[in-house]
Structure 1
Amino acid sequence: METKTHVSDEGMRYFAEYPRIVELIIERIEALKDKGQSYAATAKLIGVKPPTITRWLKGDRSKLSLDIFLRCMDALQIQPHDVFSGITPDLQEYDFIPKVTAKLGCGSGSLQVESDVQGLYAFRSDFLEMWHFHKSRLVMFEATGDSMSPTIEDGDNILISTGTDMAPRTGELWAIGIDEELLIKRIERRPGVLVLKSDNLSYKPIEVPLNDHANIRLIGKALWLARIL
C-alpha cells in the first residue's frame, strides 16, 4: 500500500513538553545515583552507552533522539502525571502548528494551508528553535501505507517544512503532489529527472521529468516524525 499523508487528530503533548521531560530524565538519573546506582547501570537500563549519560549531565542533549527519549521515559518510569501535574502552560512559550489535510494547490507548487486547517498542534518554541525549524513554514500530516517502511510507518505523524524556494537534495524525504495524490518519498536527483524512491523495496521508483510542472508539485521537506508505540 502506497504511503500517503492525511491529518491526524492525535496530539503530541509529550513532545510539546520536551524540555520539561528532559529535566525529569536528568533528575531521575541523579536520584538513582544518590541511591547507589551507577551511571553505567542506568545507561544499561535505558539502553545507551555510559558516555551518553555523561554528555546529558553536562548539558549536551544532541544524542537524545526520539527513540531514546521514549526509552528513557519507560526505563525511568516517567508517567504523564509527572510531566503535567501542577503545570499551567504559558501559551507564549508555544508555537501552534496547523494540522492540514492533503488538499493541494492547483499547479501552484505549494499547499493551500488556509483552507485546510483542521486544528493546531502545540510545540514549545524552544524545541522548534533548537532544531532550527521555521514555524511559519511548518504543517503536520499523518502517514498512511507502507511504501516508506521502515523509516515511516502507517500512522506516523510527519512535520513538513513547506516553501517553493527550497530545492530537494538526493536522500531527503519530501511530500510531493502527483496529480491529486500527496506522497512521501525519498528524493534522488538525476539530470533532467527527479526519482521518487520508496524505502520499502517492494515499490518501484517513480521517475518524473523536472519540467513536468503540470503533474508534480513539491510540497515540502519532511523534518521530523512522531510514532505511537
Structure 2
Amino acid sequence: MRKCAEIAGSGDTLARITAIPRRTLEYYLTGDREPKVARCVEIAKAVGVDIGWLASGEGPMLAGQSAPIPTVEVPGMEDYAFVPLYDAQCSAGDGAWNEGCRVLTHISFTRYSLRKQGLTPDHLSAIRIDGDSMEPILHSGDTVLIDHTRTAIEGEGIYILRLDGHLYAKRLQRNFDGVSIISTNKEYREVVVPRDRLNELEIVGRAVWAAGWL
C-alpha cells in the first residue's frame, strides 16, 4: 500500500485520485485496517498495479507485466549469469513496442559484478535502443540492461517506460504537475505526464548498464 502511495506521488495524491478519505487511507498505510476488495481494486486501477500483487505481495507488481524469465544455467559456467536479450524495440525517438517479443540470445555477466551492483539476475533483461533522442548517452543500436525491480523514480537515471502503447528509454523527473519525460538530445522537447494520467505511465525498470559498437 505504501508503494502505491509512492507511485501516486504521496498519500494525499492517492487519496484524491481514488476518492478514499485521507484518514481511511492512513489506516491502510499503517496497517491498522485492511481495505475491502472494492477499495483494493480502486487503488490498483488508480496507480496501474496488479490487483493480485497488491493483495498478496506476490507476482509482478505492474498490471499486465509478466514475471521475468529466469536466467539460464550453463554447466561449468556457474560464476556467470546469462540475461535474456529481447527483440523488443525500445525506441528512444518516436517509440515502438512489439507484442509477443522473443528472446534473441543471452548476455553473460559475472555473478560477482551483478552482486556488487545490487542486481539479481532473475530480475534483469536487455533490449536494444532505436532512435537518437538519448544521444550522446545512448545511441541507436545500443544494448541496455534493465533492472525490473526499480520501478519508482529515484534521483538521476534512465528508465524504460511504456506510455500510450509505446516503449521509451528516457530520464524521468517528478515535479508538482506530474512526471517529466526528458530526452538528452535537445532536439526533442520535454513531455509532462500530468498527475491525473500517471496511471497510464508504466515504468518497466531502470537502465543499469549499456553497451554499443564504437
Same fold by TM-score greater than 0.5: yes
- Say yes or no: does 1:146 pair with 2:132: yes
Once superposed, what is the RMSD of the aligned Cα atoms? Answer: 2.8
Match of 1:90 in 2: 76
Distance 1:95 1:172 in 2: 24
Instruction: Answer whether contact 1:169 1:189 (CA < 8 A) is retained.
Output: no
| CA deviation vs aligned residue, 1:27-81 (integer Å, no higher than 9, x gap) | xxxxxxxxxxxxxxxxxxxxxxxxxxxxxxxxxxxxxxxxxxxxxxxxxxxxxxx
Which position in structure 2 is the counterpart of 1:190?
A: 175
Is 1:133 aligned to 2:124, yes or no? no
In the TM superposition, residue 118 of structure 1 has moved relative to its aligned partner by 3.1
Partner of residue 184, structure 2: 199
Question: Is the 1:147–1:198 contact (alpha carbons within 8 Å) kept by the matching residues of 2?
Answer: yes
Q: How does 1:112-191 map to 2 (within 5 A)?
A: 116-163=102-149, 166-191=151-176
Unaligned runs of 5+ in 1: 1-88, 105-110
1:101-126: CA deviation from partner (whole Å, max 9, x where unpaired): 3389xxxxxx9x99643332221111
Q: Is the 8 A contact 1:128 1:135 kept in 2?
A: yes
1:214–1:187 distance in 2 versus 1, CA, 3 Å: closer
Q: Note if 1:217 corresponds to 2:213.
A: no
TM-score of the superposition, structure 1-length normalised? Answer: 0.52
Runs of at least 5 residues in structure 2 that lack an aligned partner in the other structure: 1-74, 91-96
The amino acid across from 1:158 in the alignment is V
Aligned AA (1:157): T
Residue pairs, 1:64-103, within 5 angstroms? 90-102=76-88
In the superposition, the TM-score normalised over structure 2's length comes to 0.55
- In structure 1, give the amino acid aligned to 2:183: S
Q: Percent identity?
A: 26
CA distance in 2, matches of 1:101, 1:191: 36
Cα pair distance change 1:210/1:103, threshold 3 Å: farther
**Is the 8 Å Cα contact of residues 103 and 116 (structure 1) preserved in structure 2?**
no
Deviation at 1:214, TM superposition (A): 5.4
Residue identity matched to 1:134: T
Q: SS at the partner of 1:182? A: strand
* C-alpha distance 157-167 of structure 1, shift in aligned 2 (>3 A): same
In 2, the alpha carbon distance for the partners of 1:158 and 1:121 equals 11
Quick one: distance in 1 between partners of 2:89 and 2:200? 14
CA contact 2:87–2:101 (8 Å) conserved in 1: no
The structural deviation recorded for 1:174 is 0.3
